[in-house]
A and B are shown apart, each in its own frame.
Chain A
């Protein structure tokens, strides 16, 4: 009886090209919209996880290994698996539905979320979110 598909919830995408990837809900549309008459949400997820960094790595190598590639997508609730984890990264100003309209807006939004995700990864918090789900 408690709503759990709220912004900042970590979810796993189940279908599509990004199946198996972890994502965070940025905005949820419970009642759907004109174009999508079903419950869906805007998620920002990880397309390519950062690799494992070891002590031996040089600074240049750690920088290269800590890169994160992101995606932004509108996903049906049915195609998500919610988890008990949350990720408070403020993406509301960066990621929005009109960022998905044109290619260059989308690229800019992805770049900005990439920044936010990378800095969060470097702090070492939310480690679960940045590890690949093995299946």
Chain B
């Protein structure tokens, strides 16, 4: 019971931080641009939805490992992640390039 409550709280905080990034920072949505941002070492944090196909998930994690960039596995599917970004489409993976006013990079990374 306590565990689920904790995850709900942190889950909301991720959503809040993500909303702040959408408003004030730079980001890219989608697999192709996530890889591009990793190749050019512009990405600072990668967020992957939980229903991302496992091969694609592994590929993004491998690139992020080479790049030493944190990956956060979002607790929700691509529909939820799209909603969290304030978009009306599904988002499977996204890359935060510049967090703006948000502290998502500092508070999230240890996660895997």
Contact = CB atoms under 8 A, between A and B. Distances in A.
B66 A1 contact: no
Interface in A74-106: 77-78, 81-82, 84
A2 B68 contact: yes
Interface residues of B, number: 13
Nearest to B59: A81
Contact of A1 (B35, B59, B65, B67): B67
B4 interface: no
Interface residues of A, number: 12
Nearest to B45: A1
A77 B69 CA distance: 19
Interface stretch (B15-23, B36-44, B73-81): B36-44
B89 interface: no
A72 interface: no
A82 B66 contact: yes
A30 B68 CA distance: 19
